[in-house]
Structure 1
Amino acid sequence: MVLPAAAREVAATLSGTPIEGVPDLLGSAPDAEPPWVAVAFMPAVGLDEVDVPLPVDGVRLLGGAVAEALTGLHEAGVVYGAVAPDGVWLTARRPLLPALDACRPYEGPPLGTRLSAAPAGYLAPEVLSGGPPTPASDVFALGVLMAYTGLGRLPFGDGPPPELAYRAARTAPDLAGLPDDLAGPVARALSPVPAERPTARELARTPALAGSSVDGNWLPGRIVAALAARAQDVHALEGAPDEPAPTRAATGSMAPAQATGTLALRSAPTPPQTRPEPPSTARRVVLARMLSGAAGAVLGGGAVLGWTEAREDTADPEGASGPTRPGRGRAVAGLPPAALWRYDDPTGRTKLVPVSGAGRALVLQGQTARGLDLRSGKPVWEVQELKGTAPAWQVSGQRALLYTFDGLVVCALRDGRKEWVDSAYERGLAEDSLEVVNVLGVHRDTAWILLGKRFDLERGDLHLAAFDFVRREERWRAPVPDGFGGSATLLSGSGGTLVLEGKDGSALSSDEDLETATKRFAGFDRATGKHRWTRSFDDVEPRSPTAADGSGRLFAAGLGDLRAKDLTTGRQVWGERVLGGAGPLVLDRGTVYVVDGSEVSAHDARTGHRRWQQYLPRSMSGDGVGSMTVSASGRLLLVPTPEEVTAFDTRSGELVWQLSPVGLEPHDPFQLTVVPDAVLVGQPSAVIAVPTT
């Protein structure tokens, strides 16, 4: 099986340490591309294929054997992270923990390699809340597994990860129906406090589980027959690597056995009479189906999808929702898709910018811009000596415009090659006592630049200039009206009018003045730079989130209101009540999305009509929600907070998934940048790429 980076050290650790209940390692190549490990094959039936509840003796045998296997892994310094029905297989000799590609070292792994491959219902509350998997979380998952196999249901019920984490941390598990001697150790394994759980060794020695030897004929004949049929499947593949292979053994006619200690395969709706050959199931699919474990994980995430190796022929579980990717496994409602890669910055200075192209994404680290490979997350080039608060912009032809101490630089996104450096533009302003304050925005081959006097940017003269970086010359320059200050921003560069936004800086001499200030907006003809109008609104305060479209319409969120105003006439177009103090908003494809503390809502940009409204997983103040964004496909609204990123369906408002990366200290809200087919989720210390298709 192919190994993720986190499992390479595990393979090296286990290669010389055989562990009972874990596949024997036959060989590995951790430095190959891709890295791989070979394990001894043993015919097996996944526990997820077996009907539950099981007879009590079967639960005891299963729990004791899995606890013993976990003991060996934990003592070797390895966390399994995949204790769940599809991460436990039944063999003729004993239960087996096959998902070695889900394992990782427990003590001191590299930042970002702590993974978990169990479904949300099997994750401990500390993992669901963003913590790393540990031996104690493996014990919790085993407690869930024993409750599930003994009762036929999960001890904390079903639901999205935030609800499961709440129940597991604050409510007692429902174990009604388990014998008292078994319910006691299961309840201790399900303690919300990791330190109060028994170790795997202590659990294996519990009288309810200890002494339940699994050696010998511990399975009924029906499952033994299924195991023999699977061995025959592999034998049939030898010598015909590309021919269609038989399916798994027909088990639909096997009725659940009633004898104590027996296990029965799950019944199928229509028992097949023969073992048909699928039209396109090749050798690699059958082998992957038999040998692979619950692999692919969300890098740094708290929960992932199971069975991520070649599963093209497996349908999503009934009722599952959320984005899916062919061959990447089942989509589980509320769980994020497997991350593509993670890039770590030990200096803690990484900032995302909306610049990508040619298979690269741009990140800033202090005064350095780095181009990351979108397939691997590895940095492939860098440009140093950046200047200003917004030094990087997307331009046409898969290039980037960088503002550096050398001047304006255009470079190719693929390799960072500088196409030209123009310092003459900045030097040529010296005679006017002006300097480049910042690059405000870029569209195609034009950059809009704010110019100001060197020593008084708040009160001195400001100019807005359009610079053609193909001809490398200034197209026009226009004075900016009073009251904008050096922090002025370009609110909209689309349509025929450029909209400049800034605070009323005419009298900002005290905190009181700042509290009573209003936002000001100025419109300039995009082709000529002619000043068209200046506007301010009493109900649009300096901290009011705003957005503007190409038609000259302003959208602003305030206390309890979302409003649309016509900047040309100054009139209000519509107003809509929202709960609490409105937070960030984003305008995309004719829809305005706004967060108002406990809810996120979508409104028609033309009428203000509320299309949908949905609760956030947890209430947040306006400062607790970062800049929202919409995926490249337009299907997901992504809402970042310091703890997680939540994806909503833009059409219905339904929660699709929630991502809580582990290994990152809570900081400001996560930064988001949309790239083709993915979103980059960042904090100053790391960036992960999450697919959005």
Structure 2
Amino acid sequence: MPSPLTHDDPHGFGPYRLIARLGSGGMGTVYLARSPGGRTVAVKTMHARIATEAAFRTRFRLEADAARVIGGRHGAQVVEADPLAETPWIATEYVLGPPLDEAVELAGPLPEASVRALGAALCGALGQLHGSDVVHRDLKPSNIMVTAHGPKVIDFGIARALGDDRLTHTGAAVGTPAFMSPEQATGGEHTPAGDVFALAGVLVFAATGHGPFGDGRPADLLYRVTYGEPDLTGTPAALAPILAGCLAKDPAQRPTTAELSARLHDGGGEFADLLPDAVLAEIGRRASEVWQVVPQRLPAPADQPETVPMADVPAAGGLSRRGLLMAGAGSVLGVAGAGAGVWAVLGQDAPAPGPGTGPGYTKPKPGPSVGALKKKKLDSVWQKQTGGPDDDQNPEVPMVAGDQVVLVAGAEARGVDPKSGESAWTFSLFADDSWQVASDGERVYQILRVENGQDLMTKTVSWFLAPVDLRTGKAGTRIAPVSDSRHNGIISRLLAVADATAYLAISHGKVKSHERLSRWSVTAVDLASGRRKWTDPVPFHPAKSDDNHFLSAKASGNRLVLLQQMNDGKVRIVARDTRTGKVAWDKPWDGADSRYVRDPLAVDGRHLYLGYGPLRALRLSDGGQAWDTSSVRPKKTYGPAVLKGGAVYAVEKGLGLVSYGAGGGKPRWAEKSAEGPRADHVVRPVIGSEYAYTYSDTDKVLRAVGLASRTTEQLYTTSGTRFVAHEKSRMVIASGPHFLAGFPLR
């Protein structure tokens, strides 16, 4: 539970402002913090008294490395870290959910189906670690967070690479006695089989409420782990022999994580559907609680002056509206935002949040979602507990792919039926990076990682462009290599796919301590033949930048339009000739903030349409301005543009939805709703045949604006912040940090 800051806690670390304490121990303190953009994170620090010790600093750095390896799907995603700072710190996503030990204390032993799903997911987490030659060494219930999407493994303080004995020595038992393996308890080598032993102990605890070797003094526990038989009393009969095999004293007799996963669970169903109501309610409570935390700092003792250490953080200020939108990705839902998602799933009896009732607000015509929601009834046609990507990732997510939509988040791609929200397939990505997958609207392609060889010393990794089978999610025949001896390609981005051509950005250079690389090229690959049509370099980008060089991309006709972030953080619009790869024109986007202009680009055969300032059209031929709205609506600000039927649509700040002719910029119409000024201009609207859909963050509603009446005719409560039209199924797909939902598109 969050507690107030003490008088001598710093203001922050890096760009993160501290707002509360989450806990403190012998090694350091964990804080709740927020970024300038509003993202909520957990910041783990090291106590100053041990930060001077080289061994502790090394262990802290290795902890950050291990957390990066496991990634955001199976662990708390590392947002930023500075192990070399005077006070080392790691910022990770704030995980929404209780530790497993608290979940069992709250709800009692978990049902067998829950334990099986929990175990299979943890096998995936450990398998990812072991695949990178890292072992956890301290898996226990308090190090496993239970979320609506699945468990997340945290606390890698004693994790290490296989064979690395720099921080330990033979004969030293390091870990938690109740969940140690026999070889670990006797100071021997802890291999992946030791993590399997610990996992079995965790699952026994989840199923029974007690560990397989009881509790008591550490010496007694170590003896029972080494020589005693496990106590499986209360373990479901079908699970007992599986877990007993994992608790074998001989590591060679234990199954691998892949073998154990196959015995536990078939991989079907949603994790949240298998959790007890009490655990789901606790997840929902934590989701809403975090935004209610008010920063507090305890006064200094009477005999000490009131001083707070200075820290290198930006000046405190109000969060921008866009910043609040960005806050949810990878962290938390807002209180009202949780209403339409967590509230409905958990089936609480309180009324769901609805539209505002401030001055000048007129209640629109009631739609399917305006009335009070009944227990477990959603405002949407369907809703699933599947989170979307961070706002700094591919803006085309969710992406339309034939009869499906594809969600890419948390190192996983997922094919979703837009009519029901059911997952058709999933596949894992090498990292939490949505730029590894792209669609041309009908087909999906991915950057595929392939390992060559088994020997760790000689094993190599290659990358290929490959299609995705939309029936199974499996990679098809490899089209072309992305990395080879000539083109290198240590990091790559699949920018866009159009007209049977894939456009990729490929980096070149040496990897240095998790820093981004400096040299990039853009490459076009013919999807039919696999031939590289052309390769052309892009300007230098700083190696130490944690931001993507590419913010958005779109291919149309003979132009590939890219938004590129430069060394100084400014944004440039670069148009390349799709036939040769040469830059046709390159111009700055004056005043554009690289954090906010990550939207799908509105491009047709003639123009690129831009908002974030006046609404304007740039000629694709030479980049010159064809028209803007300054002459008819001076000093007005617009959000991202959307094209539909020869018209450009955008939300004008303080007015609502507007439409202009795409050819010459002639005004067509403007929204007349009293609630139009409440529409968030930075959220891209969706245009149907009868309605246009805009979002209000203030009310947490998706508004259906009649294209004929030009007024709001329907309201839908939503926790989504990204919206895309799937016209084949006549659905609007809403993606948020923790939920995916479908609404009718008309």
Question: What is the TM-score normalised by the length of structure 2?
Answer: 0.43
- Structure ID, larger Rg: 1
TM-score, normalization by structure 1: 0.46
